[in-house]
Amino acid sequence: MNVRQERGTAAAAHRVVILGAGYAGLAAAVQLAARAGRNGSVRVTVVNAQERFTERLRLHMAATGRQLAELSIPALLAGTGAQFVQGWVTAVDADARTVRIDDRQALGYDTLVYALGGVADTSAVPGAADHAYTLGGAQDAELLADRLARLGTGTVVVAGSGLTGVESAAEIAERYPRLTVVLLGRQEPGAAMNAKAKAYLGAALDRLGVAVRAGVEVVRVLPDAVELAGGERVAADAVLWTSGTRVSPLAAAAGLAVDGHGRILTDAALRSVSHPDVYAVGDAAAIRQGYGVLHGTCQGGMPTGVHAALSIGRTLRGKQPKPFRFGYYHTPVSLGRGDAVVQFTHPDDSPRRICLTGHLAVRYKETVTASPWPTYGRMKKMPASGAFWPRGGRFSRLREVR
């Protein structure tokens, strides 16, 4: 069906196309369809490359061969009236208001929600794209799991000492104690945590036998090693790349205003500053708050999706959308299956004095990781239930520049 035919068959319905069905995109779809889709005034179409939902919060577990639940996007959308289209988004024409799927199908839209997210940035360092594994999705994690299962003994280098690197290194070391796991990064693991939480995290990695090297930079990935700035080489039978993220170039190619990282620049309502009929959510958006640009996490991603849906709904009712405000509240980190640390934060993501450790932190982390599914379920029945999150108070309030 071409765009002209599509417009003719659904002239009465406002067409909202959502690109990407991660945590943020799915939240936007469920919220909007539950609020407006059932009465026929809005038609919601979700486009995603895979039918299976990617549990990014559990990919470090999948990388060690642990079986994850098979979550179907159509099943998660069931009962909302939203349509699902499986395919790769290959182009966006922001002027014609169309998107191309797999270079063969065109979808027209009246409003677009851009939620294509980000992936590990393997382009910044030579050899990373060719020789390193990533956790970009379930298939990537399964490739690493297969490699680790076949190693037996050897060295695994985890490049990147951020939270993804820490969780992955701990998971691999616990699952495969005969492997030597080396965690490399510019900063010490848990650098943004308070002293107690950081010390606990460090002790857990040490207990698991993870060799941590902070203050180093990987400048090249080779088939059997990584090269550090200064010329040192660290032997590696497998390299997991977790350092940095990049977003799809589709937004920039479409002429949407983006920042230096390719993320769509948004106004306070999460609309593109150059194309107000395009909303950007999750990792694909550069959303400014009083403390800076929102960084990609599940705790912030889902609220952006819900807020975009609320903004679209208000606009269609002739009302002004409200500004998006969000304050961080925690940083949960798993340290294998039986240990974890949870750092509670101020709304600007700086650490509070309070943290959880051990079994209590494990239960907290698991509750957080599993929380999207009951949240989506509640939104289907009570859409207003998804509209509650910490607004951040004075921390997130934008101040006018004079």
pLDDT reported for residue 296: 75
Top pLDDT among 150 and 4 is at 150
- The pTM of the full predicted model, rounded to 2 decimals, is 0.93
Report the C-alpha gap between 173 and 164 in whole angstroms: 14
Spatial CB neighbours of 402, under 8 Å, sequence gap ≥ 6: none
CA-CA-CA-CA torsion sign (322, 327, 333, 337): negative
Structural domains for the chain: 3-117+248-326 (3.50.50.60), 128-244 (3.50.50.60)
CB-CB contact of 175 with 65 (8 Å): yes
Per residue in 346-378, pLDDT (tens digit) is: 999 999 999 999 999 999 999 999 999 899 999
Per residue in 264-294, pLDDT (tens digit) is: 999 999 999 999 999 999 999 999 999 999 9
pLDDT reported for residue 183: 98
pLDDT reported for residue 58: 94
Report the C-alpha gap between 205 and 307 in whole angstroms: 38
Report the C-alpha gap between 275 and 95 in whole angstroms: 9
Average pLDDT over residues 183-195: 97
How many residues are present in the chain?
Answer: 402
- For the chain, give the percent of residues with pLDDT over 70: 96
pLDDT reported for residue 297: 79
The single-letter code of the amino acid at 336 is: G
Helix, strand, coil percentages in the chain from 3-state DSSP, rounded to 5: 35, 25, 40
Torsions phi, psi for 341 (to 5 deg): -140, 140
Per residue in 26-39, pLDDT (tens digit) is: 999 999 998 875 66
The two three-digit tokens of residue 201, written as one number: 């995290």
Continuous H helices in 176-297: 195-207, 250-253
Report the C-alpha gap between 201 and 382 in whole angstroms: 39
Task: Say yes or no to pLDDT of 22 above 60.
Answer: yes
